[in-house]
Every structure is written in C-alpha cells, then in structure tokens.
Amino acid sequence: MNQKTKETREKIISLLQKEIENKNIIKHMLATEACMKALAEKLGGDPQEWGLAGLVHDLDYQPTIPPEKHGLLTKEILAKAGISLPETILQAVAAHNWHKNKVKPKSLMDWTLFIIDSLTGLIVATTLVMPSKKLADVQVKNVLNRFKEKSFARGTRREDILLCQEKLGLSLEELVEICLEAMKGISEELGL
C-alpha cells in the first residue's frame, strides 16, 4: 500500500469510528474491504482502489437515512471530512445500492461490490453458528450449505450473490473461497 493510500485509509477509519455508531457495520466494511482487495487481485483490478470502495461503501448507512439515498451521501460526508476519493470509487459505492437509488453498476468494481456486499454477512452468520465461533474453523462447504438454507441469514440477497458467474466470471464456490480466505486474514479485526 502506498503512503497516500495508507494515509487516506487511516483518515477513513477515523471517520468511520466517528460516523458509524454500530460497530458491526464497521466490521462489515472491513470485511468488504478485505474481500474487494482479494477479488481485485483475482480479477485484474486495483486492490487499493477496490479496497477503499469496500471500506467506505456503508459510510452513509444510518437508520435515519431513506434507503433510496444510501450510497449517494458518502461523497458529501467524505468532502466534509476533507477526504477526496476517485469518482470510480464513489460510483461503486452508489451502485452497491442500485436497486433502491437507481445508480446502475457499470464497471467490474461496481458489480463486485454489489455482489459481495451480502456475502460477507452470510460468512459472518455461518461463523457464528460454528461451535468455536471462529473464522479459522469455517470451510467453503459450510458457507455453501448455509447458502442453500433460505431460512438462514434471511437478509442475505442470494440472487445478487449468484450474479458472480455472469458478472465476474467466478463460480459461487470460487467467490466464497476468495472472500472467506480474505476475511480469515483479518479475523482479529473482525473479532472472529
């Protein structure tokens, strides 16, 4: 990670801690950052840029914000904090909620963020039902089995995750494996 990206990331982490009350949302954003970096490496994207998109994607998520505004307010929150990010990142952040805010995904980074947003939650939920509650003990097959259970982690948008083949050229198993390994790499930060 270059020095400028490192400094930007530190400013964003500080901003998240100030803006986001729910610490689980911050953990979700960290998990999404890790998955985005790993997928950028697999898919030929810029891991630093993709990682920052994952890190800020829920910056404007608050219960008081109407769902159709989510993803659109991040730019002004960042600007108020004196943080400037490339338009490509802001587009991905807006597009991760395109069903509600109508900003359609255009790039591979946009689609990746949209597809994995829900997957990180499924991986965490799978971890929490393991006897150890540790990511280290979760295997791809555990996540895939839970994916098939429609009543498990009901908020998981399975139909969005299944776009991985069409939009990313990855099978569900490949996607889960990449994200699971990425999240295991930051298990301490996630408390799992």
The per-residue pLDDT for range 154-164, each reduced to its tens digit, is: 999 999 999 99
pLDDT at 65 over 90: no
Q: What is the pLDDT of residue 4?
A: 86
Element (H, E) at 95: helix 87-95
- Band of residue 3 on the pLDDT scale cut at 50, 70, 90: confident
Tell me the two tokens of residue 144: 């895939």
CA angle 53, 83, 34 (to 5 degrees): 25
Give per-residue pLDDT as tens, 73-101: 999 999 999 999 999 999 999 999 999 99
Q: How far is CA 51 from the centre of its chain?
A: 9
Separation CA 27–CA 139 (nearest Å): 20
Tell me the two tokens of residue 89: 């990142």
Q: Are 185 and 149 in contact (CB under 8 A)?
A: no
Q: Is the dihedral of CA 40, 181, 163, 124 positive or negative?
A: negative
CATH of the domain at 20: 1.10.3210
Q: What is the pLDDT of residue 2?
A: 84
pLDDT at 1 over 80: no
Structural domain boundaries, residue 132: 3-190
Question: Residue 37 to residues 78, 95, 103: CA-CA distances in angstroms?
Answer: 21, 18, 23
**Domain total for the chain?**
1
In the chain, the percentage of residues whose pLDDT exceeds 70 is: 100
Separation CA 72–CA 57 (nearest Å): 10
Give pTM, 2 decimals. Answer: 0.96
